[in-house]
Structure 1
Amino acid sequence: MNTIKKAKDATNAFTRNWANFVIKFKWPVLLATLILAIGLGSQGNMEFDGDYHVFFSKSNPELEAFDALQDKYTKDDNVIIVLSPSNGNIFTKENLTAIEELTAESWNTPYSSRVDAVTNFQHTSAVGDDLYVDDLSYETALKTEAEILKIKEKALKEPLLVNRILNEAGSVTAINITVRLPGVDLNEIPGEVTPFVRNMISDFKEKHPNFEVHTSGLIPMNTAFFESSMNDMGLTMIMLIIVIITTFILTRNIWSTLATLIIVIFSIMSAIGFVGLMGIKLTPPSSVFPTMILTLAVADSIHILVTMLQKMRKDGLNKVDALKEAIRLNFMPVFITSLTTVIGFLTMNFGDVPPFWDLGNITAFGMGMAFLYSTTTLPALMAILPVKSKVRKEEIKAHNNWYTSLGNYVVKQPVRLTIISFLVIGGLTYLATKNTFNDEFINYFDETVAFRTDTDYIRDNLTGIYNIEYSIGSGESSGINNPEYLKNLNAFEDWLNEQPEVIHVNAFSEVARRVNRSMHGDDESFYRIPDNRDEAAQYLLLYELSLPFGLDLNNQINVDKSETRVTVTVDNITSADMIAFSKKGEAWLRNNTPKPMHAIGVSPTLMFSKLGFRQADSMFKGNIIALILISIVLMLALKNFKLGLLSIIPNVTPVLVGFGIWALYKAQINTGMVIVFGMTLGIIVDDTVHFMSKFLRARRELGYDAKQAVVYAFETVGKALVTTTIVLLAGFAVLSTSSFALNSYMARITVIIILAALIIDFILLPSLLILTSKKEAVSAQNIRESQIAFDK
C-alpha cells in the first residue's frame, strides 16, 4: 500500500505541476503548439497512388511470381470496353461499323500497345500453300448482308473469341485495350489514360446512342482505387461537422466546442506533415486517416472538458481550479488510452498489406500528437477563453440519478449479470467462428461505384473477370514447337475446359491447331497439333509474319519460344476456391506433364485471394503482442496486477461479440477487417481505463468499498464514456458510408465493437470488479490519509 501511495502521490504531484505550468504560461504554450502544428502541417505533401500493386509488399511471393510472368511476356494492364447494342445483335452492318470505328480510335489511348476486338480478330485461311491472316471484319460499311452473316458464323465458332471477346449469343462484345505504362508518374492513369477513355466512350455514346457501354479491367480498377481515396478524404469534412455538433450538444458550451475543434485540426495537420516527411503515398485504406484521427482525438478532449464542466457546474469551482482538477484526474487515463491506441495501430505493421502499415503509422503519430495537444493546447485555450458555467445542481442531480441508478442496478446483482454476460458473450463467440474469409477484389467496391456495377454486368453477360495464368515451359529454346509439348499443352487446355469454374481458356495450343487446319485447306480433320516439329515451327513462323503490328504473339510466347502463357478465365468464386483451383491446376501439371512444364498459377486475382489469408496469419502475432503490451501498460498504470489481468476481459470480449454479430449480418470478412482486433483493442481500452481509474480512486483515496466505488465510477465518468462513445460511433458511422468496402466493413464492425465495449464496461466490468474485490479491505489509516489528500 505504501508503494502504491507513493506512486499515487508522485503522479498527483506531476499532474498538478503540469496543470499549473500550462495554465501559468498559457500564452507561450499556445503559441509553441501553434507553431509546432503549422510547422508540421507545412511539410504535408499528399499524393495518391491508385495502383493495385500498392496492396502487396515487395517481398510478397505472389507479386514476385506475377511480375516475373509479365517480364517474360507483355504487361497486361488493360481497359475492357463492353458494348451491348439495343437490338441484341452485334452482327449488323451498322453495329460492326461502329465497333470498327471505336476499335480504331482505341489505338489512340495513351500508352496503348494492343487493341483486341471482334472486328480486328486475326482470322486465318489458306489458298494452296499460302496462309492468309486478315481482320475478321474490315471496311465493314462496304460489306453485304451475306458477308456479314459469314463473319457472324466464323466469329461464333471461334474458341478464342467466344466467352472472351464475344458472348455465345452474339449480343455483347468487348474491345480490350492493352496499355504499357512507363510507371514514372502517378498521374499516368488518373490524368491521362482514364480521361481519354472516358471522353472516347462519351463521344461514342453520343454518336451511337443505341449502344450500352460498360468498362472494366486493371486500369479502371486502379482508377476506382484512386477515386475511392479522394472520396474518403471528403468524409473528413462531414465528420468534422458531426463532431462540432455532437460536442456542443453534449458539453453545451461553445468554448469547449471551439477548443475541441482546434485540437483535432492541430492533430490532423501534424499527421499530414508526418505523411509528407515520411514520403507516404496515400491509398484507399490509408486515406481515411483524417477521419480516424478526428474521431479518436476528440475522446481525449472530451474527458478533460466534461470533468472540468462538471466541477464548475456541480461543485461550483472556478474555471482555473476546475481545469486543474480535470487535468489531475484525467492526465494519466488519457495518457494510458493514447498509448494503448498507439500500440494498437502500430500492430498493423505486423501485417502484409503496406497501405495498412501507413494507416497504422499515420494514425499512431496523429494520436500521439493529439495527446500532446489535449494536455497543452486544450488547457491553455480553456484558461484563456471566457468559459462560464452556472451551477446546475438540479440538472446535475438528474444526470447523476440516471448513472447512479444504473450503478445501483449493477451492484445489486453482480453474480447474475456476470453469468448472463458470459452466456451472451460465449454464444456470440461461437457465432464468430462461423465467419468465412472471402476477399474478392471486385467486392472491395460497393454498387455505387461504376467499376463494380460495370464489372458485374460483364460477368453476367460476357465473361468472367477473374483469371489465373500459368507460364508453361518446354525446357529448351524453340521447344514450344515440339509436338509432345503441344500435345501436353493441349491436354491441359482440354482439362481446364472441363472444370466447372472455367469460362474460357486462352492457350497457344489453340493457335497451333487453328493454323494447322488452315494450312490444310481448312479441313476440320487437321484441327489438331502438327505431326512434327519442323512443320509446327514453319507454320508458326508463317503465321507470325502475317500478323499486323500490335497483334503479334508476344503476349503468349516468350522471346526464345521456350514458354507459352495459358490464361484461364474463371467464374466468380470465393478466395478459398480460387486458391484451391490454382493448386488443382498446378497438381495436374505435376502429375501429367514433364518437369519443365510444371508451373504455378499467378494473377492479380489470385494475389488478392491469398492476400487476406497472409494478412490474417501475420496479424495474429501482432495482435498477441498488442494484447500483452496493453495488458502490461494497464497493470503498471493501475498499479494492480490482478486488475491488469482482469482488464483483458472487457478489452477482448467486445471484439468477439462484434464478430459474432457480424456473422449474423454478413458472415464474410475481408482483408480490411483482419486489422480490427489490434485497432479496436487500443480504442476500447479508453472505456476500461477511465472506469477502472475512477473505481480505484474511490477505493484508494475515498476508502469506498467495491460497490460504492462502482457507483462512484458511474457518477463521475459515466457521462464522459457515453459522450466519447457517441463521438466514436458517429465517426466510424460516417466512415462506414465509404464506397470502398475494405474501409466501410472495417468501420461497420468497429461501430458494433465500440458499442459492445460500452455495454460490457457498464455491465460486466463493474460486476467483475465487485466479485474480485470482495476480500479486499482498505485500512482505516489509509482511508484517513487518502481523505486528507483528496480534500487538499
Structure 2
Amino acid sequence: MNALKKASNVTNTFAKKWAEFVIKFKWPVLITTLILALGLGSQGNMEFDGDYHVFFSESNPELEAFDALQEKYTKDDNIVIVLSPSNGDIFTKENLIAIEELTAEAWNTPYSSRVDAVTNFQHTSAQGDDLYVDDLSYESASKTDAEIKIIKEKALKEPLLVNRILNEKGSVTAINVTVRLPGEDSAKEIPEVTAFIRGAISDFQEKHPNFQVHSSGLVPLNTAFFESSMRDMMLTMIMLIIVIITTLILTRNFFSTLATLVVVLFSIMSAIGFVGIMGIKLTPPSSVFPTMILTLAVADSIHILITMLQKMRKDGYTKKEALAESMRLNFMPVFITSLTTVIGFLTMNFGDVPPFWDLGNITAFGMTMAFIFSTTALPALMAILPVKVKEKKETTETEKLGWYTNLGLFVAKQPVKLTLISIAIISGLTYLATKNQFNDEFINYFDETVQFRSDTDYISNNLTGIYNVEFSVGSGESGGINNPQYLKKLNEFEDWLDEQPEVVHVNAFSEVARRVNRSMHGDNEAYYNVPSNREEAAQYLLLYELSLPFGLDLNNQINVDKSETRVTVTIENISSAEMIAFSKRAENWLKNNTPEPMHTIGVSPTLMFSKLGFRQADSMFKGNIIALILISLVLMFALRNFKLGLLSIIPNVTPVLVGFGFWAMYKAQINTGMVIVFGMTLGIIVDDTVHFMSKFLRARRELGYDSKQAVIYAFETVGKALVTTTIVLLAGFAVLSTSSFALNSYMARITVIIILAALIIDFILLPSLLILVSKKSETKAPVQELKPQVQLDK
C-alpha cells in the first residue's frame, strides 16, 4: 500500500508541477508549441495514389501470382465503354458508324495498346487454301441493309463476342480499350487516361445523343479510388465545424472552444508533416486521418476543460487554481488514454493492407502530438485567455442531485441485477456477432452515388460481368500449345468452365484454334474443333497471326515461346467466399483432369480483393491479441491494481462484441475496413474506462469513500466529460459514415455503435462490477442518503 501511495504521490506531484510550469511560462510554452506545429506542418506533402495495387503488400501471394501472369503476357489495364442505343439495336447503319467512330477515337487514348469492338472484331473466313481475317464491319457507311443483316447474324453466333463485347439481343455493346501504363507515376498516368476517355465520351454523346454511355474497368476503378480520397478529405471541413459547434454547446464557453480548436489544428498540422517526412502517399483508407485525429484529439482537451470549468463554476476556484487542479486530476488519465489509443492504431501494422498501416501510423503520430499539445498549448492558452464563468448559485439538496448523481444512485442500489441483465444482453449480441460473414467485392467498396459503381452495375445487368479469374495454362514445352493433346484438354477445360452457373464468358485459345480450323476447311461446321495434327495446328496459328492487324495480335493470350496460354473467365457479381470457392473448384478440375504441366492457380485483381478480407482478419488477429495484452498491462500499471486492471478488459472488449452483434442485424457482412475496428476502437473505448476508474480509485484512495460512494463520485466528476467526448466522437464518425467509400463508411458506422455501447457499458456494467469486486469497507452512509461529493475534493 505504501508503494501504491508513493507512486500516486509522484504522479500527482509531477502533474501539479507541470501545470504550474506551463501556467507560469504560458507565453514561451505557447510560442514553442506553435513553432513545433508550424515546423512539422511545413514538411507536409500530401500526394494521392489511386492505383488498386496499393491495397496489397509486396509479399501478398495473390499479387505475386498476378504479377507473374502479367509478365508472361501483356501487362495491361483497361477501360470498358458500353454503348446502348435508344432503338435497342446495335446493328443499324447509323449505330455501326457511331461505334466505328468511337473505336477509332479510342485508339488515341494515352498508353493504349489495343481496342476491341464489335466493328473491328477479327472475323475469319477462307477461300480455297487462303485464310482471310477482316474487321467484322469495316467502313460501315458503305454497307447495305442486307450486308448489315449478315454482320448481325455472324456477330450473334460468335462465342468470343457474345456476353463479352455484345449482349445476346444485340442491343448493348462494349468497346474495350487496353492501356499499358508505364507505372512510373500513377498519379499522372491514370488521370491522363481518365481525362481523355471522359472527353471522348462527352464528345460522342454530344454528337450521338441517342446513345447511353457507361464505363468501367481497372482504370475507372483506380480513378474512383482517387476521387473517393479527395471527397473524404473534404469531410474534415464539415467535421471541424461540427466539433466547434458541439464543443461550444457542451462547454458553454467560447475560449474553451477556441483552445480545443487550436489543439486540433496543431495536431492535424503535425500529422500532415509526418505524412510528408515519411513519404506516405494517401489512399482512400488513409486519407481520412484528419477526421480521425480531429475527432480523437478533442477528447483529451474536453476532459481537462470540463474539469476546469466545473471547479470554477461549482467550487469557486480561480482560473489558475482550477486549471492546475484539472491538470493534476487528468494528466495521468489523458496520458493513459492517449497511449492506449496509439497502441490501438499501431496494431494496424499487423494487417496485410498497406493503406491501413499508413492510417494507423499517421493517426498514432497525430494522437501523440495531440497529447503533447493538450498538456502544453491548451493550458497555456487557457491561462492567457480571459476565461470567466458564472458561479453556480446555492441550491436545495434536491436540486443538487443532478442527472449524473441520480444515475450513480440508480446503479449503486442494484449492481447485481444490472450486472446480470448486462451480461445477458451482451451474450446475446456476442452470439449474433458470429453470424457476420466476410464479403470483399471491390464493386461494393463504393455506394450507388459513385458513377463507377452505378455504371458497373448497369454493365453487369445488361452486358457482361466485370469480375474475372485468369489461368495461365502451361503445356510443359516450347511450342507445346499446338500439341493436339494440350488443345483437347484446354478445350475440355473451356467447356467445363462454360457449364459453371456463375460463369458469364470464357476467353480461351482453344476457341481461336477451333475457329481457324473451321475456316481452313471451307467454314465447314464439322471442323469446328481443335486440330488433331500438331503441324497443322502450328501452320494454322502462324497463318492466323500473320493475318492479324497491328494491335490485335495474340500476345495477350499466348506467351513468347508458345508454351502457355491465358484463359480469362468472366464471372457474375458473386461474394468473396463464392469467388474463392469457384477458383478452387477450377484449380481442382485441372489437377484431376489434365497432365501436371497444365496445373495452375487462378489469379486476378477480383480474386486478390476477395481474399484480402480473410487475409487481413488472420493477420489482425495476432495484432488485436497483442494490443489487448499491452493495453491491459498499461491499465494495471496506471491503476496500480492488478484485479481492476484485469476487470477493465470486460468494458473494453464487450462494446466491440456488441457492435458486431448489432451489425449482424444490420448488414451481416464484414469488409476489409471493418477488420481493423477492434484494434482501432479498443484504444478509443479505453478513454471512458480509464477516466471513470481513475475517479473511482481517487475517491477510494484519497477521500476514503466506500465502493458505492466512489461510484457516485465518479459519475459526478467525470460523467459529463464522458458524455461530451462521446457526443464529439459520435459526431465525427457519423460524418465519416457518409463517405461514399464503403471501407471508410462501414468502419465509421460500426464504430458509432461501438462508441455508444462503450458509454452505456461504462455507465451500467463497469460501476456495477466495481461495486461487486471492491473490498468491502464500512459504509459511511446509506446509499439513499448520499449527497453529491463535489465539495469533498476541494
Query: Which TM-score applies when normalising by structure 2?
Result: 0.98
Map 1:566-581; keep pairs closer than 5 Å: 566-581=567-582
Q: 1:395: how far off?
A: 8.6
One-letter amino acid matched to 1:603: S
Provide the C-alpha distance between the structure 2 equivalents of 1:703 and 1:680, rounded to a whole number of angstroms: 34
The answer on 1:223 being equivalent to 2:223 is: yes
Q: 1:76: how far off?
A: 2.7
What residue in structure 2 maps to residue 123 of structure 1?
123
**Residues 236-266 of structure 1 deviation map (CA, whole Å, 9 limit, x = unaligned):** 0000000000000000111010010010000
Given that 1:313 and 1:393 are in contact with CA atoms closer than 8 Å, whether structure 2 keeps it comes out as no
One-letter amino acid matched to 2:12: N
One-letter amino acid matched to 2:370: A
| Secondary structure of 1:681's aligned partner | helix
| Secondary structure of 1:393's aligned partner | coil
What residue in structure 1 maps to residue 9 of structure 2?
9
Provide the C-alpha distance between the structure 2 equivalents of 1:217 and 1:776, rounded to a whole number of angstroms: 70
Provide the C-alpha distance between the structure 2 equivalents of 1:196 and 1:392, rounded to a whole number of angstroms: 67
The answer on 1:484 being equivalent to 2:485 is: yes
What residue in structure 2 maps to residue 457 of structure 1?
458
Provide the C-alpha distance between the structure 1 equivalents of 2:680 and 2:608, rounded to a whole number of angstroms: 24
Q: 1:191: how far off?
A: 2.9
What residue in structure 1 maps to residue 469 of structure 2?
468
Provide the C-alpha distance between the structure 2 equivalents of 1:26 and 1:94, rounded to a whole number of angstroms: 78
The answer on 1:101 being equivalent to 2:98 is: no
Query: Which TM-score applies when normalising by structure 1?
Result: 0.98
Provide the C-alpha distance between the structure 2 equivalents of 1:512 and 1:777, rounded to a whole number of angstroms: 93
Map 1:254-265; keep pairs closer than 5 Å: 254-265=254-265
What residue in structure 2 maps to residue 62 of structure 1?
62
Map 1:400-549; keep pairs closer than 5 Å: 401-549=402-550
Given that 2:706 and 2:776 are in contact with CA atoms closer than 8 Å, whether structure 1 keeps it comes out as no
> In 2 relative to 1, CA 731–791 (structure 1 residues): closer, same or farther, beyond 3 Å?
closer
Gaps of at least 5 residues in structure 1 are 780-786
> In 2 relative to 1, CA 590–367 (structure 1 residues): closer, same or farther, beyond 3 Å?
same
The answer on 1:281 being equivalent to 2:281 is: yes
What residue in structure 1 maps to residue 112 of structure 2?
112
Given that 2:333 and 2:690 are in contact with CA atoms closer than 8 Å, whether structure 1 keeps it comes out as yes
What residue in structure 1 maps to residue 565 of structure 2?
564
Given that 1:190 and 1:226 are in contact with CA atoms closer than 8 Å, whether structure 2 keeps it comes out as no
Q: 1:189: how far off?
A: 3.9
Map 1:726-741; keep pairs closer than 5 Å: 726-741=727-742
One-letter amino acid matched to 1:770: I
**Residues 716-755 of structure 1 deviation map (CA, whole Å, 9 limit, x = unaligned):** 0000000000000000000000000000000000000000
Q: 1:777: how far off?
A: 6.8
One-letter amino acid matched to 1:647: S
Given that 2:674 and 2:747 are in contact with CA atoms closer than 8 Å, whether structure 1 keeps it comes out as yes
**Residues 196-230 of structure 1 deviation map (CA, whole Å, 9 limit, x = unaligned):** 10010000000000000000000000000000000
Provide the C-alpha distance between the structure 2 equivalents of 1:791 and 1:134, rounded to a whole number of angstroms: 92
What residue in structure 2 maps to residue 373 of structure 1?
373
What residue in structure 1 maps to residue 236 of structure 2?
236
Q: 1:3: how far off?
A: 1.1
What residue in structure 2 maps to residue 149 of structure 1?
149
| Secondary structure of 2:709's aligned partner | helix
One-letter amino acid matched to 1:487: K
> In 2 relative to 1, CA 596–395 (structure 1 residues): closer, same or farther, beyond 3 Å?
farther
> In 2 relative to 1, CA 396–557 (structure 1 residues): closer, same or farther, beyond 3 Å?
farther
**Residues 30-64 of structure 1 deviation map (CA, whole Å, 9 limit, x = unaligned):** 01100000000000000000000000000000000
The answer on 1:693 being equivalent to 2:694 is: yes
One-letter amino acid matched to 1:602: V
| Secondary structure of 2:469's aligned partner | strand
What residue in structure 1 maps to residue 678 of structure 2?
677
Q: 1:190: how far off?
A: 4.3
What residue in structure 1 maps to residue 608 of structure 2?
607
Provide the C-alpha distance between the structure 2 equivalents of 1:624 and 1:373, rounded to a whole number of angstroms: 30
Provide the C-alpha distance between the structure 2 equivalents of 1:120 and 1:395, rounded to a whole number of angstroms: 88
Q: 1:393: how far off?
A: 3.5
**Residues 585-635 of structure 1 deviation map (CA, whole Å, 9 limit, x = unaligned):** 111101111111001000000000001100000000000000000000000
Gaps of at least 5 residues in structure 2 are 781-788
**Residues 463-506 of structure 1 deviation map (CA, whole Å, 9 limit, x = unaligned):** 01110000000011110000000000000000000111111000
Given that 1:172 and 1:461 are in contact with CA atoms closer than 8 Å, whether structure 2 keeps it comes out as yes
What residue in structure 1 maps to residue 312 of structure 2?
312
What residue in structure 2 maps to residue 665 of structure 1?
666
Map 1:683-722; keep pairs closer than 5 Å: 683-722=684-723
| Secondary structure of 1:169's aligned partner | coil
Given that 1:313 and 1:396 are in contact with CA atoms closer than 8 Å, whether structure 2 keeps it comes out as no
Report which stretch shifted further, 140-149 or 178-187.
Answer: 178-187
Given that 2:300 and 2:374 are in contact with CA atoms closer than 8 Å, whether structure 1 keeps it comes out as yes
| Secondary structure of 2:388's aligned partner | coil
Provide the C-alpha distance between the structure 2 equivalents of 1:151 and 1:721, rounded to a whole number of angstroms: 72
Q: 1:184: how far off?
A: 1.0
**Residues 112-167 of structure 1 deviation map (CA, whole Å, 9 limit, x = unaligned):** 00000000000000000000000000100110000000000000000000000000
Aligned length: 784
Provide the C-alpha distance between the structure 2 equivalents of 1:776 and 1:157, rounded to a whole number of angstroms: 89
One-letter amino acid matched to 2:771: I
Aligned sequence identity (%):
84
| Secondary structure of 2:75's aligned partner | coil
Provide the C-alpha distance between the structure 2 equivalents of 1:60 and 1:365, rounded to a whole number of angstroms: 27
One-letter amino acid matched to 2:341: T
**Residues 435-481 of structure 1 deviation map (CA, whole Å, 9 limit, x = unaligned):** 11111000000001000010000000000111000000001111000
**Residues 671-728 of structure 1 deviation map (CA, whole Å, 9 limit, x = unaligned):** 0000000000000000000000000000001100100000000000000000000000
Given that 2:475 and 2:597 are in contact with CA atoms closer than 8 Å, whether structure 1 keeps it comes out as yes
> In 2 relative to 1, CA 396–481 (structure 1 residues): closer, same or farther, beyond 3 Å?
farther
Provide the C-alpha distance between the structure 2 equivalents of 1:394 and 1:596, rounded to a whole number of angstroms: 90
What residue in structure 1 maps to residue 80 of structure 2?
80
| Secondary structure of 1:120's aligned partner | coil
| Secondary structure of 2:402's aligned partner | helix
Provide the C-alpha distance between the structure 2 equivalents of 1:384 and 1:545, rounded to a whole number of angstroms: 83
Given that 2:341 and 2:367 are in contact with CA atoms closer than 8 Å, whether structure 1 keeps it comes out as yes
Provide the C-alpha distance between the structure 1 equivalents of 2:592 and 2:207, rounded to a whole number of angstroms: 54
One-letter amino acid matched to 1:351: G
